Amino acid sequence: MSETAPTDPSADSVRREVREWLEANWDPNEDLVAWRNLLADSGWGMPVWPQQWHGRDLPQALAPVVEEEFARLGAVGVAKTGIRLLAAATLLEHGSDAHKARFLRRILTGEDTWCQLFSEPGSGSDLAGATTRADRHGDHFLVNGQKVWTTSAHHADYGLLLARTDWDVPKHQGLTYFVLDMHQEGVDVRPLKQMNGHASFNQVFFTDAVVPAENLVSAVGNGWQVAITTLMHERRGADGLRGVQRERDLPGRIYEQEREEIAVALEPYKWYPQRAGRVDLVLERAQATGRNTDPATRQEIAKLLTMARSAEWTARRARAAQQQGRPQGPEGSLGKLASSNIARQASHVHTLIAGANAMLAGEDGDLNGLIAEILISVPATSIAGGTDEIQRNIIAERVLGLPKEPRMDTGPFRDVKRN
């Protein structure tokens, strides 16, 4: 509970307050950025944030009350797409006041877009093995190296950069976290095309990219701790897709601007539902093609539905425990692995249902190519956001308490074997 809140607010008083404020201020013909500046000033855009930084110190439990009132009027909220809220959460926890003053407002107004510069060609599962280097030169650092899988880098203003500043200490201790200005000569962004034909990600190359020392977050050598904060917030949302704003088909200038923003932000994620397997289409497709009369196909569909529904109930159990303030049991760690199994089985079932048409794609493919897109997107599910093998290690070691693998990378990073 925050110290600045004078009294413990109740749901009713919060509801009354936000309603009055919205009724006095909300105008669908307002300019989007102007409106969001108002939200940042009032604290109603991010009410659980500190009062000092565009919030109202409301407890998390009351956030839904505010959201309901926004929804009731159709009032547009602060910008939430992409990874900007990960940036904000990280800066709120580890940034200096100067960072907060400089970056938070424009995150909320949507004027600045952010990207996350963590994964590298040489360090994926082993994120702390990053080899992009940042070397100090007086009042700034020079960055050299390469990042990969960076969503939105091509239109990002700032990047959250994890870079190596010390090669003589163990790997976790030699990393430092920076805010990098993406608009500079030393930063080269190139699209990364995936096997399904989409190019949702980028590779980012640094050649003497400049980071002023004041953009260092926390302390030199403390980058891994800061990165963990970012990653923890990332795990709470599905990777990349957190805080998706719903498009609203309402008249008014502000909605038009919001629709444009959403279209740009969601473009890279168009195929994300397909990579999860589109279980929702299965029964309908089986009926439409008549495959629902084939006993072998029926069995596979039933297996899929069993997996998908049990996984949903497992996630509900985890959420219910959380809501009751009880610690999550093992059920909370299994969702990612379950979703890989579901996606794979769904792809198998879609193949059985499509039969010969599984050979076709694009306009010639079933559902205008959607089924083909499922078949060639599903392999991402067991890799993105931590591979199945890494998930199994985590479950085995942290949930089941099995002994850890002996480590071969504990010495100075300089001596650790890498590609």
Partner 1 sequence: MHFAFTPEQEQFRDAVRRFLRDRSPPAEVRRLMDDERGHDPGVWRQMCQELGLGALHVPEDRGGQGFSVTELGIAFEEMGRALLCAPYLSSVLATTVVAEACAQEEAEQIVSRIAAGEQLAALALTEANGRWDAGGVELIADGGRLRGSKTHVIDGHAADLLIVAARASGSTGEEGLSLHVVAADAPGITRRCLTALDPTRKLAGIDFANVEARCISSDAAPALRRTLDIACVAVACELAGVAEALLESAVDYAKLRMQFGRAVGSFQAIKHKCADLLLEVELAKSAARYAAEAATVSDADLPALASLAKAAAADAAMRAARDCIQIHGGIGFTWDNDTHLWFKRAKSAEVLFGTPAWHRERLMRCSEV
Ligand X SMILES: Cc1cc2nc3c(=O)[nH]c(=O)nc-3n(C[C@H](O)[C@H](O)[C@H](O)COP(=O)(O)OP(=O)(O)OC[C@H]3O[C@@H](n4cnc5c(N)ncnc54)[C@H](O)[C@@H]3O)c2cc1C
Binding site residues, partner 1, CB under 8 A: 119, 121-126, 129, 148-149, 192-195, 197, 294, 296-297, 344, 351-352, 354-365, 369, 372, 375-376, 379-380, 382-384, 387-389, 392-393, 405, 407-409, 416-419
Minimum separation from the CB atom of position 141 to ligand X (A): 21
95 binds ligand X (CB under 6 A): no
Which one of partner 1, ligand X, none interacts with residue 416, CB within 5 to 8 A by kind? partner 1
Strand partners, 29: none
From the CB of residue 171, how many other CB atoms can be counted at a distance below 10 Å? 25
Measured from the CB atom, the residue of 276 and 349 that comes closer to ligand X is 276
Stretch of 185-193, 204-212, 366-374, 384-392 contacting ligand X, by CB under 6 A: 384-392
409 binds ligand X (CB under 6 A): no
Q: Which of 22, 315, 383, 399 binds ligand X (CB under 6 A)?
A: 383
Minimum separation from the CB atom of position 359 to partner 1 (A): 5
Q: What are phi and psi of 415, to 5 degrees?
A: -95, -5
Distances (CA, A) of 88 to 93, 110, 160, 206, 229: 9, 12, 10, 24, 11
The CA distance from 241 to 239, in Å, is: 6
The CA distance from 108 to 80, in Å, is: 7
Which one of ligand X, partner 1, none interacts with residue 151, CB within 5 to 8 A by kind? ligand X
Distance of CA 207 to the CA centre of its chain: 27
Measured from the CB atom, the residue of 241 and 360 that comes closer to partner 1 is 360
Distance of CA 28 to the CA centre of its chain: 29
Which residues within the stretch 96-135 sit at the binding site for ligand X (CB under 6 A)?
A: 116, 118-119, 124-125
393 binds ligand X (CB under 6 A): yes
Q: Which of 105, 366, 386, 413 binds ligand X (CB under 6 A)?
A: 386
Which one of partner 1, ligand X, none interacts with residue 192, CB within 5 to 8 A by kind? partner 1
Measured from the CB atom, the residue of 70 and 118 that comes closer to ligand X is 118
Give the CA-trace dihedral at 129, 134, 135, 136, to 10 degrees. Answer: -130
Residue with tokens 């500190």: 50
The CA distance from 237 to 76, in Å, is: 21
Minimum separation from the CB atom of position 323 to ligand X (A): 28
Give the CA-trace dihedral at 328, 333, 336, 339, to 10 degrees. Answer: -70
Checking DSSP bridges between strand 216-217 and strand 175-181, what pairing results, if any?
antiparallel
Q: What are phi and psi of 235, to 5 degrees?
A: -65, -30
Checking DSSP bridges between strand 114-117 and strand 133-137, what pairing results, if any?
unpaired
Stretch of 9-17, 70-78, 333-341, 379-387 contacting ligand X, by CB under 6 A: 379-387
Residue 63 · residue 289 · CB < 8 Å? no
Which one of ligand X, partner 1, none interacts with residue 25, CB within 5 to 8 A by kind? none
Which residues within the stretch 236-275 sit at the binding site for ligand X (CB under 6 A)?
A: 239-240
Sign, CA torsion 29/31/36/41 = negative
Residue 93 · residue 123 · CB < 8 Å? no
394 binds ligand X (CB under 6 A): no
203 binds ligand X (CB under 6 A): no
Which one of ligand X, partner 1, none interacts with residue 16, CB within 5 to 8 A by kind? none
Q: Which residues bind ligand X (CB under 6 A)?
A: 116, 118-119, 124-125, 149, 151, 239-240, 380, 383-387, 389-390, 393
